[in-house]
Structure 1
């Protein structure tokens, strides 16, 4: 059994769950890119792969994660090839894809499905869609992310495993192809597996609300946004959007515009 997750924090909590239940024994593999943002056109061929990598390099330039897109640490195509190779060599191997109710996991699921078509019947989905769980304090909650679920609760979650149906293998890739061809910058989850798309500047209007007349470090603005906004995304993307707005002359800035802790922003002095 191979478990596939889409967030680094999910890896650890799932490993904790595996330690509690021998029936879950297996390797945990992470798909690392965030397919909820950035270009998707020709995403499975060289030209599109190169375009997306260059976009990430531009987004991360001069920031906390500079050049990470070019590192060997993130290569989902290699990971997918290894999964396919393992399944072809061992006809008894199966895959469990774990996804929670968020755009990041759902986009990762859609991206991965392209490589799983030939293994229908051996690929399972555990989609924690609007399902209640018990938190550490004994209260009922609805997790948006897998790592919010206590390890012991995963033992209940495993009962949700089901085969990805032949119909899903036909319909879902078509839906993903449509999304990729639209080639917008931001994906949002409406509910279930339904995605909508917006332009690259989608988060700007809400992000600007956290910029005041007083100097604040970019890191503080981003962390406030992540704590309070309805629609969130990664801090690297938000830092890129702040830098983009600064380049447009929208705010006053002081410090070196690189890492989010290196510079401060405030509204334009009149």
Structure 2
């Protein structure tokens, strides 16, 4: 079985679960190190579209230790791995109810277009709810990487998932065509659909959280940018990642909404204060 996931944390958790069961040598895991809810996806199935995405991501990603080169290299490597999957190999694609993993699902199915592999889709949001959210306490997670290895393994062992028909594949491929024609750089998950929104969609939310943190101070003063990003991240109902939120904070600094103290080279090096 070939497993395709969208994120290092979810791939690592599944790999740990397989290792514990002693089946890690039989199950191959392929994963993207990307965040598909942010950045251009226009023409992403083509080289030019990938180039446009990488250019945009250069402004978002912290490249303090050369992470960007590794990111772009791994992106190309993952696409090549998916294209090289043998026709006879069954594939399981792991996704969840968030824009990132749902876009990733559609992108992968476009890469696999024309192949006749048996493809099963496991929706971890749905499977987790059915298997574990059976009592009064309901655990809600934003992405598959927040599920521990034991529970991911149980989801797989229980045979949860939907085998895609040719009609299902065609529907997803058509949805990808629509997505890849859109020029927006931020997407969220609403009412079971991927919705494109303006890039500054969360700017007012960042400002509100900054005001909240200022109210906790004796006198209005600078706060660590990581403290503000953590506050925003902890109250967000979407999965867009801390890098994107810090990128938007830098944009707000450029606009003069925040004063800054320190170096913008990385989040831990500077503090901010609302003007």
The reply to whether residue 169 of structure 1 matches residue 169 of structure 2 is yes
Aligned to 2:34: 33
Aligned to 1:100: 96
Higher deviation after alignment, 122-131 or 252-261: 122-131
Change (3 A) 1:144 1:246: closer
- Once the two structures are TM-superposed, the CA of residue 112 in structure 1 deviates from its matched residue by 0.9
Give the alignment partner of residue 119 of structure 1, picking from 115, 119, 124. 115
Which runs of 5 or more structure 2 residues have no equivalent in the other structure?
Answer: 215-219
- Once the two structures are TM-superposed, the CA of residue 257 in structure 1 deviates from its matched residue by 1.9
Aligned to 2:179: 179
Partner secondary structure for residue 209 of structure 1 = helix
Which runs of 5 or more structure 1 residues have no equivalent in the other structure?
Answer: none
Change (3 A) 1:68 1:23: closer
Partner secondary structure for residue 160 of structure 1 = coil
Higher deviation after alignment, 156-165 or 27-36: 156-165
In 2, are the aligned partners of 1:130 and 1:142 still within 8 Å (CA)?
Answer: no
Deviations 1:57-101 (A, max 9, x none): 1222xx36565333366433332222222314xx2x111111122
Higher deviation after alignment, 7-16 or 76-85: 76-85
The alignment's C-alpha RMSD in Å is: 2.5
TM-score scaled to structure 1, two decimals? 0.86
Q: Trace 1:52-63 onto structure 2 (pairs within 5 A).
A: 52-60=53-61, 63=62
Deviations 1:155-190 (A, max 9, x none): 442211332221121111211221221211111112
Partner secondary structure for residue 206 of structure 1 = helix
Kindly indicate whether structure 1 or structure 2 has the higher relative contact order, using CA contacts under 8 Å at least 6 residues apart.
2
Q: Give the number of equivalent residue pairs.
A: 261
Q: Trace 1:69-218 onto structure 2 (pairs within 5 A).
A: 69-71=68-70, 74-88=73-87, 91=88, 93-131=89-127, 132=129, 133-134=131-132, 141-158=139-156, 159-192=159-192, 194-211=193-210, 212=214, 213-218=220-225
Deviations 1:95-148 (A, max 9, x none): 11111222211111111111122234422111124342438xx96534433233
Change (3 A) 1:82 1:243: same
- Once the two structures are TM-superposed, the CA of residue 243 in structure 1 deviates from its matched residue by 0.8
- Once the two structures are TM-superposed, the CA of residue 245 in structure 1 deviates from its matched residue by 1.0
